[in-house]
């Protein structure tokens, strides 16, 4: 197809060049004939010879005309008088006869150029009037250039023109071949129909798979993404073509997708989703990124860890329960019935007191159940979990599941941090300040170095060995993202006496103002102010909420 186009263009250009060339050669011949005629008419003494002599084959007019014809290469030079009678001609027999074409235009004083038929055939003619010394018209001069010579000149240019056209065609054919080979290499020798089919299959595959797919060019702009990637990263179709750092907020997710963090199966958090990211560079300097949603898997993993902990706790309780039954049986066999009753009351009262303390201060059933369960797990791990005296949470939460996620992750983190600490102690404080929920968890573990207090909330950052089901470094990152979604913040500081103190504030966590009973119990709390999300006014206003908090 490219070769046919090149040949057609070359042939068209050659034809367009030849078409005006014939006309141009005709014009040149007519101008030449006219110039010879004008030169002949200006020949000295030709007018006198025309007046003083007779039209004979050997007269002075015939001699002058033949001399000029021979010198210029014209086909004929005819001199005529006012009556149109020839005084000169290449054929002597025509001298004295009337010319074959109308001489009136030249005899009237006009210069004529034309292609005409005469006794000598088709020729390019030029006719001019012949004047005497006084300017009077006494005849005319007609000069002809043989049309065959013009045709010969035209034909003589054709081979050269065709040679140029052939050279241009050869260059065009070579260029077409090189372009074709390059296209074949770039398309892996696929036909256009195959490419179209592959494109349709690619679109169907990209939007049909349940993994996120993102293609970036070498400048970091989003070149292509499927529906799952839009859902996982909270993007839209208009983000295609935008730089990745503009479409995504700054953070680990953007760093992983942009390649600033290297590795395989990297973890990132987008909103409340846990993503596994893999990035593969392409030959053109871009990259292809795949995203897998591991939110449910991470949730199941945390539930599995909790289940294993519960199993360990049940085993320990079973052993402890057997010991208590043996003790109770011994007291009964010894007849110490009062001591047996006191023993049972003491054993059951510990758990009852813990549950009562939680439910008295935390009125939301989900959070209360969470803390009761965490207290049991802490006790089985050899740690004590206590509720701060400043804890008071009304049952007005808009999204209790979010607080369960925050508090559960903070308590689990504190239990892991105090796993090797003797006499491990944890303290939980949950309270309401207006419409803002404040969650504080303290422990007497090793604490968090000041240089790591920002990095500890980054996805994938951990100092612990990974569990059997996957990776760590997700819990605190989820806590920070959840706090930021509410317009709040997540911070870590030093507990008085050593250890770590995590504080999370969630503005607008309650559905309405707090009841009067809560305001009466905490007169320093703002109960009527609607605190904007993320604003400066979201700072704690509780009288005990200072730099050291209420952890003891």
Task: Report whether pLDDT(257) > 90.
Answer: no
Above 90 in pLDDT, residue 367? Answer: no
Is 70 exceeded by the pLDDT of residue 244?
A: yes
Per DSSP, the three-state class of 273 is: strand
Please, what is the average pLDDT of the chain?
78
Domain locations along the chain: 2-153, 206-293, 343-538
Whether 74 has a pLDDT exceeding 60, the answer reads yes
Q: How confident is the model at residue 544 (pLDDT cuts 50, 70, 90)?
A: very low
The answer to whether domain 2-153 and domain 206-293 are alike in fold is yes
- Residue 505 — pLDDT band, cuts 50, 70, 90? very high
Q: Are strands 112-118 and 222-225 parallel, antiparallel or unpaired?
A: unpaired
How many angstroms separate the CA atoms of 213 and 232, rounded? 10
SS (H, E, C) 38-69: HHHHCCCCHHHHHHHCCCCCCCHHHHHHHHHH
CATH number of 206-293: 3.30.450.20
pLDDT average, residue stretch 399-416: 86
Region at 498 (left for phi over 0; alpha for psi -120 to 50; beta for the rest): left
Tell me the mean pLDDT in the region 382-394: 87
Look-up: residue for tokens 């925050």? 406
Q: What is the mean pLDDT of residues 84-88?
A: 90
> What confidence score (pLDDT) does residue 519 get?
46
For the segment(s) 2-153, the CATH number from 3.90.15.10, 3.40.109.10, 3.30.450.20, 3.30.70.520 is 3.30.450.20
Q: What is the pLDDT of residue 539?
A: 35
What Cα–Cα distance (Å) separates residue 18 from each residue in 12, 14, 168, 231? Answer: 10, 6, 16, 66
Q: Is the per-residue pLDDT at 117 higher than 80?
A: no
Contact 479, 504 (CB under 8 A): yes
Percent of the chain with pLDDT over 70: 79
| Confidence band for 134, pLDDT divided at 50, 70 and 90 | confident
Cα–Cα distance for residue pair 244/258, rounded to 1 Å: 7
pLDDT digits (tens, 9 = 90+) for 46-57: 888 888 888 888
Q: Which of 517, 455, 459, 531 is nearest to 488 (CA)?
A: 531
Please check the confidence at residue 296 and state whether its pLDDT lies above 80.
no
Tokens of 504: 């999370």
- Whether the CB-CB separation of 308 and 371 falls below 8 Å is answered with no
> What is the predicted pLDDT for the residue at 405?
84
The pTM of the full predicted model, rounded to 2 decimals, is 0.42
306: left (phi > 0), else alpha (psi -120 to 50), else beta? alpha
Q: What integer is the mean pLDDT of 504-521? A: 63
pLDDT at position 284 over 70: yes
Residue 398's SS3 state is: coil
**Average pLDDT for residues 16-26, to the nearest whole number?**
73
Tell me the pLDDT band of 210, cut-offs 50, 70 and 90.
confident
Q: Is the pLDDT of residue 42 over 60?
A: yes
* φ/ψ (deg, to 5) at 535: -80, 170
| Cα gap 530→538, rounded to integer Å | 9
Residue 545's pLDDT band (cuts 50, 70, 90): very low
pLDDT bin (cut points 50, 70, 90) of residue 329 is confident
Higher pLDDT, 505 or 456: 505
User: Exposed e or buried b for every residue in 372-393, given b needs 16+ CB within 10 A?
Assistant: bbbbbbbbbbebebbbbebbbb
What does the alpha-carbon distance between residue 461 and residue 450 come to, in Å, rounded to a whole number?
A: 15
**Could you report the per-residue pLDDT of 169-201, keeping only the tens digit for each?**
888 888 888 888 888 888 777 777 777 777 777
What CATH class has 343-538?
Answer: alpha beta
Q: Please spell the DSSP secondary structure of 411-476, one letter per residue.
A: HHHHHHHTTT-TTEEEEEEEEEETTEEEEEEEE-SS---GGGTTGGGSTT--SS---TTS----HH
Span 269-282, average pLDDT: 81
Condensed to tens digits (0 to 9), the pLDDT of residues 514-535 reads 444 444 444 444 333 333 333 3
Q: Which pLDDT score is estimated for 248?
A: 87
- Render the burial of 4-22: b for 16+ CB within 10 Å, e for the rest: eebeeebeeebeeeeeeee
**pLDDT at position 290 over 60:** yes
What per-residue confidence (pLDDT) applies to 54? 86
């Amino acid at each position: 197809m490219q070769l046919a186009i090149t040949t057609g263009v070359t042939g068209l250009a050659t034809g367009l060049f030849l078409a005006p060339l014939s006309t141009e050669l005709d014009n040149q011949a007519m101008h030449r004939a006219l110039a010879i005629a004008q030169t002949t008419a200006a020949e000295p003494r030709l007018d006198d010879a025309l007046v003083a002599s007779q039209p004979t084959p050997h007269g002075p007019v015939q001699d002058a005309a033949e001399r000029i014809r021979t010198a210029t290469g014209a086909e004929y030079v005819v001199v005529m008088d006012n009556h149109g009678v020839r005084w000169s001609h290449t054929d002597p027999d025509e001298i004295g006869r009337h010319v074959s074409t109308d001489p009136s235009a030249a005899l009237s004083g006009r210069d004529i150029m034309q292609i005409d038929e005469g006794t000598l055939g088709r020729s390019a003619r030029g006719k001019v009037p012949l004047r005497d010394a006084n300017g009077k018209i006494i005849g005319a001069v007609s000069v002809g250039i043989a049309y065959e010579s013009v045709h010969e000149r035209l034909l003589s240019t054709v081979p050269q023109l065709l040679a140029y056209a052939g050279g241009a065609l050869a260059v065009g054919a070579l260029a077409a071949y090189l372009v074709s080979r390059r296209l074949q290499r770039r398309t892996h020798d696929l036909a256009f129909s195959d490419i179209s089919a592959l494109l349709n299959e690619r679109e169907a595959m990209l939007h049909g798979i349940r993994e996120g797919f993102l293609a970036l060019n070498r400048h970091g702009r989003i070149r292509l993404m499927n529906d799952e990637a839009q859902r996982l990263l909270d993007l839209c179709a208009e983000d295609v073509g935008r730089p990745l750092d503009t479409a995504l907020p700054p953070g680990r997710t953007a760093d992983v997708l942009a390649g600033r963090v290297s590795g395989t199966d990297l973890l990132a958090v987008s909103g409340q989703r846990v993503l596994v990211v893999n990035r593969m560079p392409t030959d053109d300097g871009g990259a292809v990124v795949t995203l897998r949603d591991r939110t449910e898997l991470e949730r199941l993993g945390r539930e599995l860890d909790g289940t294993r902990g519960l199993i360990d706790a049940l085993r320990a309780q079973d052993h402890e329960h057997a010991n208590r039954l043996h003790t109770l049986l011994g007291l009964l066999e010894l007849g110490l019935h009062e001591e047996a009753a006191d023993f049972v009351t003491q054993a059951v009262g510990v758990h009852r007191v813990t549950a009562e303390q939680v439910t008295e201060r935390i009125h939301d059933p989900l959070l209360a159940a969470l803390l009761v369960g965490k207290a049991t797990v802490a006790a089985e791990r050899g740690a004590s979990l206590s509720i701060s005296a400043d804890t008071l949470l009304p049952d007005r939460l808009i999204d209790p599941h979010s607080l369960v996620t925050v508090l559960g992750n903070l308590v689990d983190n504190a239990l892991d941090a105090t796993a090797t600490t003797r006499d491990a102690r944890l303290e939980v404080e949950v309270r309401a300040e207006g419409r803002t929920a404040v969650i504080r968890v303290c422990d007497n573990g090793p604490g968090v170095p000041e240089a790591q207090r920002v990095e500890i909330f980054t996805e994938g950052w951990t100092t612990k060995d990974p569990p059997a089901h996957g990776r760590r470094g997700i819990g605190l990152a989820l806590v920070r993202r959840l706090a930021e979604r509410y317009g709040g913040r997540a911070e870590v500081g030093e507990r008085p006496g050593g250890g770590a103190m995590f504080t999370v504030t969630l503005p607008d966590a309650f559905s309405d103002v707090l009841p009067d009973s809560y305001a009466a119990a905490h007169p320093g709390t703002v109960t009527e102010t609607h605190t904007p999300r993320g604003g400066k006014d979201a700072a704690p206003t509780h009288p005990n909420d200072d730099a050291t908090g209420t952890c003891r």
